[in-house]
Amino acid sequence: MWFREKRSLAMTKYVFVTGGVSSSLGKGLTASSLGRLLKSRGLKVTMCKLDPYLNVDPGTMNPGEHGEVFVTDDGGETDLDLGHYERFIDESLSKISNTTTGSIYSNVIAKERRGDYLGKTVQVIPHVTDEIKERIRRQGTLGADVVIVEIGGTVGDIEIVPFIESIRQFRRDAGRDNVCYVHLTLVPYLAPSGEQKTKPTQHSVTELRSRGIQPDIIVCRSDQPISDSLKRKISLLCDVPMKAVISAVDEESIYDIPVTLHHEGFDTIVCDTLNIDLDEHPIDLAPWESVVRRVHNTTSTLRIGIVGKYVTMPDAYLSVGEAVRHAGFGIGAKTTIEWLEAERVPSEIDAERLGQFDGIIVPGGFGERGIEGMIATARIAREHDIPYLGICLGMQIQVIEFARHVLGLSDAQSTEFTHSSSAPVISLLTEQLDVTDLGGTMRLGAWPAMLDEGSQVAELYGTTVVSERHRHRYEFNARYRDQFEAAGLRCSGNSPDGRLVEFVELPGHAFFVGTQAHPEFKSRPDRPHPLFVGLIKAAALRAEGREPHIIDPSTVDATL
């Protein structure tokens, strides 16, 4: 009888997740869920995304088209799927966790110009594919037991052919027991015939096999469970064991997905394919199941309005929405998010409409469009005691609004939008220091901040030293700091050298807090971010008609 002897992990294992039939099936969530399941088995997991577009990174891409740019601690501007990865596996990733075709070709061409290829003809195979494989191997040098690699796009797209060829070669390079191929497909339900159809899956797998890859596992996305008879059919026609055909039905919450996939045996078959001993790595899902219980055991509903520039595509603010939900179910409240276009405020959306929300968020963004609507939103929130959280641009909006309507600087503005203002309360740091060059002007990645003792933000964080991720170019103009503080707007968090204002707050208000950072990137389903918890608790108090108060961080911890 042939068998493989189980052994302890000696080499890094790799799981490659591809997709077929349609985009937006949930490869990122499937990969993230697998990462959580493997981590629940005591394995060290890291993840990365291979994206087929020619942009070097998503930093210059329109969020209304591509979705949010997720920022890592080391300043990487990456695909939004990295946000899912971090939230599920609770590991901080880096800029090398996102590789694009643009970055691959840029590096290959740079090597060719330097003469690194010694005059050889530079080709897709082996030079481009070797570059891709090197990016994948680099992930395996970080000490992880398992590296999960998601391939963007769908099988059959011309753009992903080099990636598919690279991962085909990877099994030969790394060894059969160290590589697992997972393929995600769609099993649609056709109402006229009353049947679920497997033909799209068959065609997708055929396309993948034509590129030299036989999937080890097929994950079938559908709006209802896949029957055993359909699993048997897919197993037969796609040449995978029946137990390796996984039913992944639509779930009420994305945080249900790991539990559902575990019950389908997904992580078990992955471990078997990778020759990982299940007895040495038993699963402990209790912590995640606790998260799922909190997701569903909510006793109240809060209405949160998000007023932004890119609300026609909610993925543009994906991490903001998830951070709101984390804070909500962290205190037992379901949060209903309503997306409002900033350009419609105040011409179509007035104070009465905004007053119906329990809390308001103005998130980040670039450019002048919708700015006056955001300023009107901040004024309504301040004057009507509506809990308000300003994120990046949202904090700058608070500052501009306060300058105009409290300090009396009627044309206060940011130099991002105009250079004719007599009160540039937001400006480039170079403009504040009267210098012409400080190198790159974009602040990216993790930056430390010192919080004032006794401030609201210090109470929320439970500490006076914090680190948050940034992605912005314009800053609070420190020349106006004394005027703001004399009028009541407290600059409650600053850079260690005191030059940069990182947090503002308005004492006595229900919750009027702004941060130059993007705290949403560090929120986790089992560890909601303190600023969002502060907003949601203030929103809950508003909904209950009680007087707001400073949040005691010990009560935040007690809810988790």
**Identified catalytic residue from 470, 509, 518, 529:** 518
Whether 383 is a known active-site residue: answer no
Alpha-carbon span 9 to 274, nearest angstrom: 9
Both tokens of residue 348? 């179509």
Kindly list the distances between the CA atom of residue 339 and the CA atoms of 81, 304, 355, 529, in Å, as whole numbers in the listed order.
21, 9, 15, 21
Q: What is the DSSP string of 268-315?
A: HHHHHHTTB-TTTS----HHHHHHHHHHH---EEEEEEEEES-TTSGG
Q: Are 473 and 442 in contact (CB under 8 A)?
A: yes
State how far Cα 207 lies from the chain centre: 30
Residue 215 CA to residue 146 CA, distance in Å, equals 18
Residue 159 corresponds to which tokens in the numbers above?
């753009």
> In which element (H, E) is residue 246 found?
strand 245-249
What gap in Å lies between CA 140 and CA 344, rounded to an integer? 48
- Structure token digits, residue 352: 């009465």
**Spatial CA neighbour of 266 closest among 34, 538, 78, 531:** 34
Sign of the Cα torsion 56, 57, 61, 65 reads: positive
Interatomic CA distance for residues 102 and 116, integer angstroms? 19
- Reduced to 3 states, what is the DSSP secondary structure of residue 394? helix
Strands 465-472 and 474-476: unpaired
Burial group, residue 62, by CB count within 10 angstroms (0-12, 13-18, 19+)? exposed
Alpha helices, DSSP H, located in 101-252: 101-114, 129-140, 161-174, 199-210, 228-238
State how beta strands 424-428 and 474-476 pair. Answer: antiparallel
Active-site choice (180, 220, 238, 392):
392
CA 1 to chain centre: 47
**Active-site hit among 77, 416, 502, 520:** 520
The helix or strand, by DSSP H or E, that contains position 360, with its residue range, turns out to be: strand 359-362
392 a catalytic residue: yes
Contact partners, residue 433, CB within 8 Å, separation at least 6: none
Contacts for 344 with CB less than 8 Å, ≥ 6 apart:
373
> How many other CB atoms are there within 10 angstroms of residue 444's CB atom?
19
Among all residues, which ones are annotated catalytic?
Answer: 392, 518, 520
